[in-house]
Amino acid sequence: MFLRLRQLCLVAHDLEPVVTDLEAIFAIAVCHRDPAVAMFGLHNALLPIGTSFIEIVAPVEADTTAGRYLERRQGDGGYMVILDTADVTPWQAHVDRIGVRVAAPLSIDIYRGLQLHPRDTGGALLEINCTEGNGPIDGLYHPAGPHWQGFVRTGVVKAVTGAELQSADPARLAARWGEILQRPAQRAGDQWRVAVDNAELRFVPATDGRGEGLGGIDVEVSDLEALRRRAADRGRALVDGRVEIGGVRFNLHG
């Protein structure tokens, strides 16, 4: 059964400035705004990069889980790692067996998801979901709306290839996520990695003073010079092959 990195979620105090930065710097477009996130006191936007998605959420009510997360991690930043699969039923049995609680079971139309309890996973909120009828990666994906394929823009960036989770103990965190995702954690220098079908989850030491969380997103670039110009136009400089947007390091590679 496939397991794919499909969506990485950022949380922000204000939604639109982060959306505008992503659109302007990466030359991508919003494909969907999901009214269902209102149940969590949020509004959102999703932007495809290839066949994966960057989502931004922001609170519209006081005392939300996302709002408390913003306070704990000292501002805008990474929030969730979301993977898709063919059927969440076996995953429900697996997480029950290894003692990982489901914080929020989701069921909307043809979509089902398991948001796992962060105290049992560590690192970030982790979700595994499925959309009925979704096999090909360019097919149905309910959270992104019915017509997301028409919003894909690949002139500057073309794929999300990984996520970077930072921790005081990356080896421990990688081992836990490897157990949850039923993929082995492997060491690569000072990093640990867990591979899924289309990407790698990288586990690195936390060095920015913000503690454990989703600190970076790996992006394959199709036109680095255009990206550099677009970032400069937004007052953002590329430093050591990355650009920061919404409190997240976007690690760029060709």
CB atoms within 10 A of CB 23: 16
Q: Please tell me the distance from the alpha carbon of residue 93 to that of residue 128, in angstroms, as a whole number.
A: 13
Ranges of each domain in the chain: 3-136, 157-253
97/109: higher pLDDT: 97
Q: What is the pTM of this model?
A: 0.96
- Which CATH architecture describes the domain 3-136? Roll (3.10)
The domain 157-253 having CATH identifier 3.30.1330.10: the answer here is no
DSSP states of 121-148? H-SSEEEEEEETT--STTS--GGG-TTG
pLDDT 10s digits, 14-51:
999 999 999 999 999 999 999 989 988 999 999 999 99
pLDDT above 90 for 133? no
Task: Supply the pLDDT for residue 189.
Answer: 85
CA distance 28 to 13: 21
Residue 165 burial (CB < 10 Å; 0-12/13-18/19+)?
A: buried
- Residues 168-209 pLDDT 10s: 999 999 999 999 999 999 998 889 999 999 999 999 999 999
When pLDDT is cut at 50, 70 and 90, the band that residue 63 belongs to is confident
- Pairing outcome for strands 185-188 and 157-167: unpaired
Q: Same fold for the domain at 3-136 and the one at 157-253?
A: yes
